[in-house]
Structure 1
Amino acid sequence: MSRTHSPSARLIRVLADLAVADAPESRQTFADRLGLWLDFTDAIALFSVLHGNAGSAAPPQPAGAGQPVHDDYARVRATLEDAIAIDGLLTPGKARVKLPRPDWHPSIEGAADFLPYQRYYLAHQRDMGAAIAPLRSAARAALAAQSPAHRQLAQLDGVMEQALAPRERALLGGVPVALARHFERLHQAHRAARADTGETDSPAAWLQPGGWLTAFCKDMKTVLQAELDLRLQPVAGLLEALGNEVTKQA
């Protein structure tokens, strides 16, 4: 997949389109950037996987052995996409991620507080992390059972996940901060337009078609979908390798 059309590029592009993040063209190669992200311990672990013995050949796997992981991927992706699209899902034993409404606060100033929307976004991020982490582990386990080369690929993904986790948390943790700037800019434009026309403001109208908060919520969901695609990218890569191996064995 080319960098231009990768999920990471899409998330950056979406934020850039909202004018809350820059999307500079990096002149560094991927290897150069990776070298800046890994510390000494990570580099040793990566070297050990790349130059270690992958082990003996795995016993032949039955046809369709990797299908449950593919099915789980489709289920998890659909569940998380639905949660974004339809304002959260009500699941047994789990609270629904509910989109805040502007009438939660009695004053107009209080109703325009970004904090409830920040909590909403963070709740989706927690749900993504909780659902995708075990899925990625299962994909690695299924891939490792195929062949020594694929076991090495699975080990490499495990090292990369651990090494890059702090950077990923830091970068994705900045997304709500960027959205806060977008929220405030839309609200200020709305206030300026009201001042020009002399109309009385009403939080109840903010979520009506054409309302500034309607526009923000739509943009926020677009960012959530882009982040979901980014978080699922490693799992999709593992499943692609698993699918190729299963095809060769068939």
Structure 2
Amino acid sequence: MTRILPPSSFHSSQLLRCLADLDLLPGTEPVSDFAQGLGQWLHFTDAIALSSVLDAGLGAIPSQGQAQLAETAARLATEFERIQSFMTASIIKSCSPGGAKSHIKWPLPIEGEVSYVPYRRFYEAHQRDMELSVEPLRVNLRAALARATPGLRKLAELDVVMDKFLRPREAQLLARVPMLLQKRFDALYAAHLDHLSVSGQPDSPAAWMQPDGWLASFCQNLQTLLLAEADLRLQPSAGLLDALLQKP
């Protein structure tokens, strides 16, 4: 049985919880009412486009047999799981120096150099990979919904419109994550220096990636955020797939 990601509101997403746990969020309270928050994101022309989709009739669609629809749903469920597994494995492998390698390499520290720049680029590279993996899946799910029933075709049309005006805002917010993460990087390194000062021990960059090293801790934090972001990016596709699988 295909495992679908659990439904989640934007403000209760795993990504935001992880950012909050790491004390990386600004001090503002999130908007509690989804409709109110969504209204702040919409322009007048966006609202018109959304209204036109909602007001349009369902119309007719080409008839398909139940067997064909079931086959399409099963194929897309398999594709969803493949992409989900690929994204997860890529993140875990690339964040594990010395283990299996992905095409995105974890930036090992250069002797004596402490710079967040390679890790920001590393995070952004994974963000680009996630975008390239998720978008084709979402397009294929919309196409399948459009051929299923009039109601599901309406859902696919709504997803296109919602994606059009929410994508720029989402991209803007997600682009802030690797920037926010620098606060964690700086805090861990500062704590490391404080510990050296108190203990009188010399610094050893070779030990930074040991299990109790500050950079190893940062690596784990970065991996946790990437996995949470992968979950967030897959949620729209998970919702479309869930609708397709539950079609009567």
TM-score (norm 2): 0.89
| Structure 1 vs Structure 2 CA RMSD | 2.0
Q: What corresponds to 2:17 in structure 1?
A: 13
Moved more, 24-33 or 140-149: 24-33
% identical aligned pairs: 43
Residue 92 of structure 1 is matched in structure 2 by none
Query: Could you tell me which residue of structure 1 aligns to residue 93 of structure 2?
Result: 86
Residue number among 210, 234, 237 corresponding to 2:236 in the alignment: 234
**Residues 144 and 151 in structure 1, CA contact (< 8 A), matched pair in contact too:** yes
Question: Aligned partners of 2:12 and 2:76: how far apart in 1?
Answer: 23
Provide, for residues 112-164 of structure 1, a one-character-per-residue CA deviation record: whole Å limited to 9, x for no partner. 10000001000000000011011100011111111111100000001111110
In the alignment, which residue of structure 2 is the partner of 1:156? 158
Structure 1 segments, 4+ long, off by >2 Å, are: 1-4, 6-9, 22-28
C-alpha distance in structure 1 between counterparts of 2:94 and 2:7, whole Å: 32
> 1:56 aligned to 53, 60, 70, which one?
60
- Partner in structure 1 of residue 40 of structure 2: 36
1:156-194 CA distance string (max 9 Å, x none): 001111110111011100100111010000000001111
Shift of the alpha carbon at 1:65? 2.2
Q: Can you give the 5+ residue segments of structure 1 that lack an aligned partner in the other structure?
A: 90-94
Deviation at 1:88, TM superposition (A): 7.1
Tell me what 1:118 maps to. Answer: 120
Q: Report the Cα distance in structure 1 between the residues aligned to 2:202 and 2:157, rounded to whole angstroms.
A: 61
> What is aligned with 1:97?
104
Give the unaligned 5+ runs of structure 2.
1-5, 97-101
> 2:187 & 2:211 partners in 1: Cα distance?
18
The alignment status of 1:46 with 2:50, answered yes or no, reads yes
Alignment counterpart, residue 75 of structure 2, candidates 58, 68, 75 = 68
Distance in 1 between residues matched to 2:108 and 2:169, nearest whole Å: 33
SS at 1:20's partner residue?
coil
Aligned amino acid, residue 58 of structure 2 = A
- Residue 195 of structure 2 aligns to which amino acid in structure 1? A
TM-score when normalising by structure 1: 0.88
Aligned to 2:131: 129
Counterpart of 1:55, as a letter, is G
Q: Is the 8 A contact 1:16 1:23 kept in 2?
A: no
SS at match of 1:102: coil
Q: Which residue number in structure 1 is paired with residue 180 of structure 2?
A: 178
Q: How do residues 21-32 of structure 1 correspond to structure 2 at under 5 angstroms?
A: 21-22=25-26, 26=30, 28-32=32-36
Q: Aligned partners of 2:7 and 2:133: how far apart in 1? A: 26
Aligned partner letter, 1:21 = L
Instruction: Classify the secondary structure of the residue corresponding to 2:58.
Output: coil
**How far 1:23 sits from its partner (Å)?**
7.5
Cα distance per residue 1:40-63 (max 9 Å; x no partner) = 121111001111122214402423
Worse-superposed segment, 118-127 or 8-17: 8-17
TM-aligned CA deviation for residue 22 of structure 1: 4.5
SS at match of 2:166: helix
